[in-house]
Amino acid sequence: MKLTDITNGKLDRPQWEAKGYELPTYDIAAVRKRTHEAPTWVHFGGGNIFRAFPAALLNDILNKGQYDRGVIVAETFDYEVIDKAYTPYDNLSLSVSLQSSGTIEKKVIASVTEALKADYAFDDWKRLVEIFRAPSLQMITFTITEKGYGVQPADLERGLKPVLAMGKVAALLYERYQAGQLPLTVQSMDNCSHNGDKVKAGVMAYAKHWAEQGLVPQAFVGYLSDEKLVTFPWSMIDKITPRPHAKVKELLAADGFDDNDYIETERHTFTAPFVNSEETQYLVIEDHYTNGRPPLDLAGVIYTSRKTVDEVETMKVTTCLNPLHTAMALYGCMLGYTLISAEMGDEDIRPFIQKIGYIEAMPVVTDPGIINPYEFIGAFIGKRLPNPFMPDTPQRIAMDTSQKLPIRFGETIRKYVARHLDMDNLVLIPLVLAGYARYLKGVDDEGNAFTPSPDPMLKELQLLVEPLTVGQEEQDYSCLKKLYSRQDIFGMNLYETPLASRIEGMVKELFAGRGAVRRTLHKYVTSR
């Protein structure tokens, strides 16, 4: 069983279907022809998230007969992805959805009609220029990570042949401008706040610099600034697509599915002909398009206002997902866990995060109206976190904790203060912040040293708790004032709230010696 069997006439459909593989029901050749002649969608970033989510959504719509065009993928960074993960498999891939029940769903994705290298050194660039000059093109989208939107001074000086992604996109948009100032929507699907603004800032940096140098007319900047012609909507995306999983590879091999090799490029991109991902997913997009759009709403994408997109993100980041992740990451590291899914079987950690979300954070949650916060938490705790296929670790989630705390917990505390809510309702959130002091010591609950995850402020913050010793009965805890007064870490000076004394008391309990983390966690979780 090979993916190319589907397009080369060798497909044994009953064999595939008998083993639980969902195959395309549409005419792949016809879709490819129509897309080539009148493209509507180009996506930059050929990684796992693209194939498992946007491309899979489009595949569902095609299977339902509700659309007739595919998506063209362009890679700006790692061209081996095209050579090794797309071309050998005729741009087909296998999406493997990992269910929290331990089962998997297998779906062949054929919605990608072309895979191009976005670089002047390849003939593919001419094809991209042709596409960008096509009046039919409706939107371009991105999953290139937040770093992909960066601009470097040296690249600005390369003129109309830059090497960074935003420069290449700006050059292609200039082609569209020259073709008659054709309308287009530039849509980020990356997991970063106000992502549309990041794309716009990157593209505009090149356009303005080129205009200053006389390489392009000032009217090109005006074209990009005219929201009747070009827009940069915000979006919120949520889906986990980890590296190809060994267990998935084994399951596919047992089926007789041959395209299960791991691929690692020289740039250390990890991929495969198959993509494994979790079942839970959300994509909420600001509905601000200038030339129409593919009907992704037919596959579950929510189109709404910019304000609502922002509210969904606020709900996720400050209440319903990210704070819970951080809480279990810190305590998971101290309790010796190496898998998030394993933590969900812990009799203290599971109710710990449930009560933080449902009891303590929920009174100040931002309700976007289109996604129920209670249901969002329920899916997160009930489906995502216990998923045995998700190889995520508390150590990874604990990275850069100092940068996360002001948003993930500081926002909730500030809202309690601003709304004059009862601070006595906050017990487990203070326990998270108290646990941070113990975590910074790098001593687990068994008394063994561990290395805290990378963090730009790790050394500085560790110095603040250096006077403290785990297991020492009588010691001076006054050093905690230097930590918990840090507005840059906690979003406010906690000594301006009743929480500081509560946190200090919890820190003393956590430092009591071997087993103190477990005892303290259990004590406060069961008291709620």
pLDDT in tens, 147-156: 999 999 999 9
* Sequence-ordered list of residues with C-beta below 8 angstroms from that of 202, at least 6 positions apart, any chain: 149, 150, 151, 165, 166, 169, 170
The pLDDT assigned to 76 comes to 93
Are 417 and 279 in the same domain?
no
pLDDT on residue 166: 97
Kindly report the length of the chain: 528
Residues 280 and 404 in one domain: no
Q: In DSSP terms, which residues pair with 223 in a beta bridge? A: none
CATH code of residue 217? 3.40.50.720
C-beta separation of 497 from 324 below 8 A: no
**pLDDT for 473:** 87
Please report which confidence band the pLDDT of residue 228 belongs to, taking 50, 70 and 90 as the band edges.
very high
Both 295 and 377 in a single domain?
A: no
pTM attached to this predicted model: 0.91
346 C-beta neighbours (distance < 10 Å), count = 17
How many alpha carbons fall within 13 Å on the CB side of residue 509?
18
Domain boundary among 304, 319, 339: 304
The count of other CB atoms within 10 Å of the CB of residue 288 is: 17
Same domain, 431 and 459: yes
Q: Name the token pair of 152.
A: 């470097």
Domain boundary among 248, 274, 304: 304
330 close to 409: Cβ distance less than 8 angstroms:
no
Structural domain boundaries enclosing 396: 308-527
The Cα 165–Cα 144 span in angstroms is 9
Tokens encoding 334: 């101290």
Query: What whole-number distance in Å separates Cα of residue 73 and Cα of residue 79?
Result: 12
Among 304, 323, 354, residue at a domain's last position = 304
| SS3 state of residue 19 | coil
* Residue 389 banded pLDDT, cuts 50, 70, 90: confident
Residues 146 and 215 in one domain: yes
Which H or E run includes 328?
helix 322-334
CA atoms within 13 A on the CB side of 140: 27
- With a pLDDT cut of 70, the percent of the chain lying above it is 100
Among residues 216, 228, 214, 218, which one has the least CA distance to residue 182?
A: 228
Tally Cβ neighbours within 10 Å of residue 219. 12
Burial class (CB in 10 A: 0-12, 13-18, 19+), 375: exposed
The answer on 424 and 522 residing in a single domain is yes
- Summarised one tens digit per residue, pLDDT across range 321-375 is 999 999 999 999 999 999 999 999 999 999 999 999 999 999 999 999 999 999 9
User: In this structure, are 36 and 58 located in the same domain?
Assistant: yes
Residues 516 and 430 in one domain: yes
Cβ contacts of 277 within 8 Å, gap of 6 or more = 48, 49, 52, 53, 95, 96, 97, 98, 239, 240, 241, 242
Domain count, the chain: 2
Residues 129 and 226 in one domain: yes
β-strand partners of 277:
97
Mean predicted confidence (pLDDT) in 194-213: 97
Q: Which residue is associated with the tokens 């899916």? A: 379
| CATH code for position 458 | 1.10.1040.10
Lowest mean pLDDT among 254-263, 298-307, 384-393: 384-393
**Among all chains, which residue has been given the structure tokens 């100040």?**
364
365 and 295 in one domain?
Answer: no
pLDDT given at position 299 = 97
The answer to whether residues 357 and 275 belong to one domain is: no
The verdict on 275 and 333 lying in the same domain is no
What average pLDDT does the structure give for the chain? 95
